[in-house]
Structure 1
Amino acid sequence: MADQNNSSTAGDSRSDTQDAEGQSTQRSQSSEKRSLLANIFPFMRSRQSSSLREDLADALSSTESEQDSAFSPEEKAMLHNILRLREIRVEDVMIPRADVVAVEISTPLWEVLELFESSGHSRMPVYAETLDDPRGMIHIRDVLNYITKQARQKTTRRTTARKTAETSAAKFDMGRIDLTKTIGELNLMRKVLFVPPSMMASGLMARMQATHIQMALVIDEYGGTDGLASLEDIVEMVVGDIEDEHDDEEIMIAEEADGVFVVDARADLEELTQKIGPSFEVGEHGEDVDTVGGLIFSVLGRIPVRGEVVQAIPGYEFHVLEVDPRRVKRVRIVPLSEADRRRQLRAVTTPKTDEGVSDSTPETTEASKEA
């Protein structure tokens, strides 16, 4: 009996050991499966997401008619812009520094009101000495609230049967407003966001929504101000330009007679090429610039003076119409005649000798023979 009990006990022990080993093996296999699935699922999700994006892009680029397509042209444009949004950085949507309308912190209230009137903006950055030392922003709503509170007469409470226009107007005395007070003294400044130019536009939009701040100053690596970005600028990348009844339409490219164009220096080179035609070839000078003003600066290496004629592109003359110390503003683009075009092309393509003097052209050769 003792032997049977011992053998039974030994058998049970071996069975328990086998069960434990089996459970350990199952747990190990289960852990390996979970690890494998954990690696596969993100890949599958990324593949599904990528496939969905590609399918949507294919649907938007299809050449189906408007009746057969699932999207209208307006919907296609917005969806295409949404897909492109993750590739757009803040520097692509910002207003360049030269175009930023800002106000100095010691500016009096009357001058601030004039700036709001002339610019048409509802917000303006505030700086100390230069725009590289920003202090915040000022909102037109805060200015109006201040004016209303200062102009309102403090009267005792009296119950009247009815209020007339005269009694309502008598509550306000505009003479009580001190228009000489500065922005710093009024204490009306709000916070502004500071972001790098490399930040994604979608990330800035999310940050603006979270902080309820709709203006950001773009700061470069040296701490200087590169430009300004607003929530409206980012939204316009998706839905297109947003203009209200007070916005004056800016004409960037205006065609005159005989193929002459008067353009804003901020006009896009690609859009200008589409307007003028294939003969307007930007070439290597346009590889690193996007605007007409940038092209002229790239060719000259400096800001031109008013009235200067720049040979920026073969076959065309750029007449500088308006300029300030920081940038070009307006340019007239004049096409040359065929003879002038040939001479200009020869001047551009003729190699120079070792002494730095161009080789003789056919015209100069004929002239030397006659001499």
Structure 2
Amino acid sequence: MPSSPEPEPSLLSVFNNSIKKFFKGRKKAADSSESSNLRETLEELIEEHIEDGGQPIPSDERELLGNLVNFTELTAADVMIPRVDIVALTLDSTEEDLLATFTRTRMQRIPVYRHTLDEILGVLHVQDVLAWKASGKKLNIKNMMKEVLFISPAMRALDLMYSLRQNGSRLAIVVDEFGGVDGLVSLTTIVEKIVGNIHDDQVEMEDELHKKPDGSIVADGRFALEEIEESMGLDLMVEDLEDEIETIGGLVSSLAGRVPVRGELIHHPKLPVQFEVVEADPRKVKRVKIRIAG
């Protein structure tokens, strides 16, 4: 019985093999001046696929391939979790706090700091926490910690991915020129930057901005201020504010002069606009309702 023809490999599988070869090539060329260009490799593969009469690329794959090509231009600052969203533990955390934090967040790795987030000492892995719990020994966070990688915001995300893989680490702390912590990057956040935009980010974007029948808008605190202004046809920025504000949550906090609490009403100083804090924590405004006062 004649064997059926083998299915044509998908373009994504070809990309996967290409990326593997890219990293192997970087490892071999580590001591030389030669360096592969992943962007050129990806673009060449797309062109070859089209020229060879390959099957049409589904829309989700097209978006993923576009993300991969653009990924070569991203830096650590583009893919990091911002400082305000970092979940971390103090060196003197209690057993209850440690277990509760891992359980609540379901994270595999959590940074540990001494007094402030700018004094990160290492990282705790959930496997080490589970091993400690099973041993019945007294908690000693310092002995359980692993070293953490510190990087510049300007480091290319592609180089960071290579460094994390090469060093066997999966987490890096982004620090500014003065040693202050700007954010956190893991292999997971890098991968999500590539593939997350196709699924998760689309769902999140729909949930971030809601126009209500009464004309009000409910927005995620991280929503771009410029987009809110375009949606409402108003210039919400205030000249007196010195800070560079990019999000609606940042504007509300700046107008209040602090992080307001849930339920608090903040009035715009020059426009008949009210901001109601729908959700907030001690560090940031997480959700806000915007309406024109009648």
TM-score, with structure 2 as normaliser: 0.69
Q: Percent identity?
A: 34
Please give the secondary structure, in 2, of the residue aligned with 1:71: coil
| Residues 282/233 of structure 1: CA separation in 2 closer, same or farther (3 Å cut) | farther
Equivalent position of 2:83 in the other structure: 97
**Aligned-residue CA RMSD in angstroms?**
3.9
Distance change (3 Å), C-alpha of 1:227 and 1:50: closer
In the aligned structure 2, how far is the partner of 1:181 from the partner of 1:51? 49
Matched, 1:129 2:87: no
Q: Map Cα deviations across residues 106-157 of structure 1 (whole Å, 9 max, x no partner).
A: 2132321111111221110011121111111001111112223x2xxxxxxx
Task: For 1:243 and 1:69, locate their aligned partners in 2 and report how far apart those are by CA, in whole Å.
Answer: 23
* CA deviation string 1:300-354 (max 9, x = no partner): 3832533132428967432234444533232111145xxx6xxxxxxxxxxxxxx
Answer yes or no: is 1:331 the counterpart of 2:282.
Answer: no
Matched-pair contact (CA < 8 Å) for 2:211–2:218: yes
- Of Structure 1 and Structure 2, the greater helix share is in 1
Question: How do 1:16-165 residues align onto structure 2 when only pairs under 5 Å count?
Answer: 53=43, 70-148=56-134, 150=135
Verify the 8 A CA contact 1:318 1:331 in the aligned structure 2.
Answer: yes
Where 2:258 maps in the other structure, the secondary structure is coil
Q: Residue by residue, what CA displacement relative to the aligned partner does 1:69-115 show, whole Å, maximum 9, x if unpaired?
A: 83211111111111211222211221111111101112132321111
Structure of greater Rg: 1
2:132 touches 2:139 (CA, 8 Å); kept in 1?
Answer: no
Name 1:320's counterpart in structure 2.
277
CA shift for structure 1 position 278: 6.2
Matched, 1:183 2:141: yes
Q: In the aligned structure 1, how far is the partner of 2:75 from the partner of 2:63?
A: 19
CA distance in 1, matches of 2:237, 2:59: 33
Q: Are the counterparts in 1 of residues 237 and 251 from structure 2 also a CA contact under 8 Å?
A: no
1:144-173 deviations in Å (ceiling 9; x for gaps): 12223x2xxxxxxxxxxxxxxxxxxxxxxx
1:302 matched to 2:240: no
| Residue matched to 1:23 | none
**Number of matched pairs:** 246
- In structure 1, stretches of 5+ residues that fail to align are 1-44, 61-67, 151-176, 341-371
Summarize the Cα distance change of 1:145–1:304 in structure 2 as closer, same or farther, 3 Å threshold: closer
Counterpart of 2:15? none
**Greater CA drift, 260-269 or 284-293:** 284-293
Distance 1:232 1:70 in 2: 29
Query: Given residue 97 of structure 2, which amino acid in structure 1 is its aligned partner?
Result: E
Residues 318, 333 of structure 1: 8 Å contact kept: yes
Change (3 A) 1:133 1:257: same
Structure 2 regions of 5+ residues with no counterpart?
Answer: 1-35
Q: Given the two structures, how large is their TM-score scaled by the length of structure 1?
A: 0.56
Evaluate the alpha carbon distance shift between residue 92 and residue 280 of structure 1 in structure 2; reply closer, same or farther with a 3 A threshold.
farther
Change (3 A) 1:220 1:115: same
Q: What amino acid is the match of 2:231?
A: G
Letter in 2 for 1:98: V
2:174 maps to: 218
Distance 1:289 1:82, change over 3 A: farther
1:54, distance to aligned residue in structure 2 (A): 9.5
* Paired residue secondary structure (1:257): coil
Q: Is the 8 A contact 1:303 1:325 kept in 2?
A: no
Structure 1 residues 54, 76: CA separation in 2 closer, same or farther (over 3 Å shift)? same
Distance (Å, rounded) in 2 between the aligned partners of 1:266 and 1:139: 29
1:208 maps to 164
Change (3 A) 1:242 1:129: farther
| Cα contact 1:136–1:190 (8 A) shared by 2 | yes
Aligned to 2:268: 311
Give the aligned partner of residue 223 of structure 2. Answer: 267
Q: CA separation in 1, counterparts of 2:119 and 2:216?
A: 42
Cα deviation digits, residues 280-313 of structure 1 (max 9, x gap): 5667989954422233356x38325331324289
The change in CA–CA distance for 1:194 and 1:323 in structure 2 (over 3 A counts) is same
Residue aligning to 1:27: none
Q: Secondary structure of the equivalent of 1:258?
A: coil
Distance in structure 2 (CA, Å) of the matches to 1:138 and 1:304: 30
Q: 1:193 to 1:309 in 2, by over 3 A?
A: same
The 3 A distance-change label for structure 1 pair 71 and 288 is farther
**Letter in structure 2 aligned against 1:305:** P
Give the whole-Å Cα distance in 1 for the aligned partners of 2:210 and 2:267.
19
